[in-house]
Structure formats: C-alpha cells, structure tokens
Structure 1
Amino acid sequence: MDEVRPETREYLDGLFTPGLRIGGDPHTPYSWIEITEVQEVTSIRLPSGRLVVDSPRITGPARELAFRIPPGEYPVDVSWANCPRLADGYYTEHRECAATRLRVRDEPVVTWELALGVGEDPALRAAGAGFEAEDAMGCFADATAWQTLTEPFRRYLTDVAAAGCGGPPVGRDTEDLCEGYFELARDEGHRADLLTFGVPEGWGQVWEGRARDGEIAVIVAPGPVPTSPWD
C-alpha cells in the first residue's frame, strides 16, 4: 500500500525524469528545479545485503535500514538539476544534485515509503524519519564493513583538529567522483564499498521504492535542492 501523499509520490517519481520541472509556480524564481541529466556514478559492493544510510562521520551506531536486499554489486545514479540561485540581486541557474539512487532492480516503482532503520517505530514515518547529516553528507555502505569504510572520515576529523587553524590542507583516503560531489571508500577485506552523497543540511532521508511484487526496486536519497513537497 502506498502511504505517501500524491504530491510526495509525484516528486519522487519525477526526480529521475530529465526535462521535468518540479516545484511551485514556474514563473516564480527559486520555487522549482529542472531535472537535466541522470548519470551513473559508480557501482558499489554490498556483500551482506545489509545497507547503512547515514552520515559517514558519526561516532555512534550506524543507521542500518530495516529491510535487506540480495547481496551483490549495485549501480548508483545521480540526478542533476538546474536550480535558480540569487546572487548580487540576480537569479542564475546552478547545477546541483537532486537525488541519489541505488538501483536494486530495473523495474517500475509502484509504491514509496520513507525507509526506517532497524528497530525504529513505524510512527516515525509521520514525523519524518531520517538521520543527522553533518556537512550535508550521507552515504550508502555495507553494514558489516562499516567501521573500516568510515575510518578515513574519522581519521580526517582527527587530522583536521591536530592541524588547527592555518595548518596544512588535510586530505582523506577516498576517491573523488563527479568532480568531488561523491566520495568512494573501499574495503577489500570485506569486498565492500561506501559512497557518499549530498543531502539537505542537517537532516537526510531515504525512500524505498517497491516494484509490483513488493520487492525493493530502488533506494532514493533526495539531495540538497531548494524544492520538495515536505518543505
């Protein structure tokens, strides 16, 4: 059963439809986004089928999603959008990540639900279940390799603190993708991966899209764009 509002479903369905405008009055600046391109970023390995969607910088337990998917390697797509931006009194178009999608099955989505973490109360869906997103960053990662995959991010914070203000630039042992919009970390011991993506500042959410047979088809994390039906 589809539990989301019609406008939310329309928004989620449209996030990966090039040429579609999403938002309010098309004549009012900063009230819409236009999807321009869907691009495959990379594929990630999830050998356990247990998926974490959380900030890679957290120090507490990771937010593992309540459902599981078949172990395997899955493509991840980004939906790019043109977003109006006000600068010096003028509106210009700005390219931004509208959403990131983990493709489990290439089948149409017939129902959407806000994804819950393991042990979370379904009542949290009405309250907007999600995760704290420091620096507007979330990630997809295999749960069994979480500690190893997030080590570069924890070490980065330690190195930045040690360098202090005015210290030398600090990098981390990850691979930049799509001009730095995404970061990929690999754990060859578990043969598992972690991929970061952008989310709204402070709070990220993830949606599960299910095919007609009820199985997970896609997992979608809306990005840091200015328009959504729950603003």
Structure 2
Amino acid sequence: MPMPAPDFSWHFTEGNTFTEESGTTGTLGVVAGGELWLHTGRVIACDPFVALGAGEAEPFTARVDPGHYRVDAAVATLVREEEPEQDTPHLRVAAARLVIKDAPTVAWELALQPGQDLGELGDDEFFGYGVDAGTGCFYDAGSDGSFPDCEGDEGPLWDAFATAPDVSPAPGPHTITDPATGHNLIAFTSGWGDGTYPTWIGRDATGAITCFVTDFFVVPAEALAPLAP
C-alpha cells in the first residue's frame, strides 16, 4: 500500500517535541505565512526555483473555491544537549500547510496531479514534487508566469531567503506578490533540503477539503502515529 499519512495536527501543535536517533531534540512552533490568493482554485506545490514559470509544475486534480487562504509552517527548533547554545537557532520547516477550511481533519489522501494513479504505488511509496534548490511553495496555477523576476539566482524570492535578522537561510514562509496582478506565492525552505516530498489533502467528516500539507520528513516517523481510520 502507498505510504500512510500521519495526523498532521501533531506537527501544527505548538510545543510538541521529538527526538532524533542522534539525540537532537526538536520543538515545534507554528509560523504564520499570510494569505495565498487562489484566484482559480487550482493549487500548485513545487520548488519555485526549479519549476516557477517553466510550465513544469501541474496543479493538483483536487480544486477548491477561489479565495484567499491562510498558509503556515510547522518549524522545528533543533537542539543537542552536549552542544553549546548557538547565537542563531537551528530551524527546519517540518511541514507547510495551506488551510482551506478551519475544521477537524478526519482523513488524508495524497494530492495527485493528472495522470497519477495510486494503484501504481508500491508499499510506502508516494507521489511528490522534486526539490533541487532547498525550497517549496504554494501558488495558484493561474499565477504561473507572474513572477519572472523570481526565476533564477536573483530577485525578490532569492532575497527573501538570503536575508533575515536572526537566521540564514530564513526558513519562511515568505510571501512574494506581483504588483501588477496581485498574484502571490508563499515559499519556505524544505526541511533538510533537496529530495522528493509528498503533499497531502485533508478532508473533514463531510468530505470537504480542509487543507493541503507538504511533509518535509523532519519529524521522525516513530514519533507519529497514522491517523485513525
């Protein structure tokens, strides 16, 4: 069977802690990222430095009503007991969430792009997006092409990650807005960096979509339990 989903409400509960095999302890906090304008309701999640404006990222098949929706990140502060306190905190984005509806999530499913079939997945396999620049984001499919200044190794998106008062790279979330259209994207660092990461869709008891969550695998699997059926 494909990879099961944990209950991501754990990630987004302030103060929850986990311990890695190395002895590093992580404490989770929730960082607000502003509102994403989904003007068509078609959600894209991708590495913006790789896919933005390139036409490489497809929207998920699940659509939502157009509107403005909150984005936040579950950010882990990592500490090792035997190491001296650092001047800047060691922060990693454990998961990023696009909130569609403030209601309890009772079921999770992998977010799929056109042509993807869960039946093709083996045990613990998943579909996800590839990261090659250590970042992820959410934006509306109708906004693709709205951020030419963000493509490549310069521009406002690059600046957002490169400059921060307390920590570098700044984990985010960072909001970038096109002044001409108002289209925006919200970006964040991707856990430990490059890799492939799944995005999950949460649904409430009525089947309505509550959120999209990208998991960056910072929280060890043994610290979590799958969502009860």
Secondary structure at 2:98 match in 1: strand
In structure 2, the residue matched to 1:55 is 47
State the number of aligned residues.
204
CA RMSD after TM alignment: 3.0
In structure 2, the residue matched to 1:130 is 128
Mapped partners of 1:135, 1:229: distance in 2: 28
State the shift of 1:33 in Å: 2.8
Q: 2:199–2:214: 8 Å Cα contact kept in structure 1?
A: yes
- Give the greater-gyration-radius structure (CA): 1
CA separation of 1:48/1:24 partners in 2, compared to 1, >3 Å: closer, same or farther?
same
Percent identical across equivalent pairs?
25
Residue-by-residue CA offset, 1:142-185 (whole Å, 9 max, x unaligned): 10111223x2232x34xxxxxxxxxxxxx313473893323322
CA separation of 1:81/1:116 partners in 2, compared to 1, >3 Å: closer, same or farther?
same
> Which of these residues, 218, 223, 227, is aligned with residue 216 of structure 2?
223
Residue-by-residue CA offset, 1:25-57 (whole Å, 9 max, x unaligned): 7xx603x5322x222121111100011111212
The gaps in structure 2 that reach 5 residues or longer are 165-169, 224-229
Q: 2:110–2:198: 8 Å Cα contact kept in structure 1?
A: yes
CA separation of 1:152/1:227 partners in 2, compared to 1, >3 Å: closer, same or farther?
farther
The gaps in structure 1 that reach 5 residues or longer are 158-170
The runs of at least 4 consecutive aligned structure 1 residues that moved more than 4 Å come to none
In structure 2, the residue matched to 1:193 is 184
Normalised to the residue count of structure 1, the TM-score between the two structures is 0.75
Structure with the bigger percentage of strand: 1
> Which of these residues, 171, 175, 180, is aligned with residue 181 of structure 1?
171
Q: 1:97–1:224: 8 Å Cα contact kept in structure 2?
A: no
Q: 1:22–1:227: 8 Å Cα contact kept in structure 2?
A: yes
CA separation of 1:228/1:33 partners in 2, compared to 1, >3 Å: closer, same or farther?
farther
Amino acid at match of 2:9: D
More RCO (CA 8 Å, sep 6+) = 2
Is 1:65 the counterpart of 2:49 in the alignment? no
Q: 1:198–1:224: 8 Å Cα contact kept in structure 2?
A: no
Normalised to the residue count of structure 2, the TM-score between the two structures is 0.75
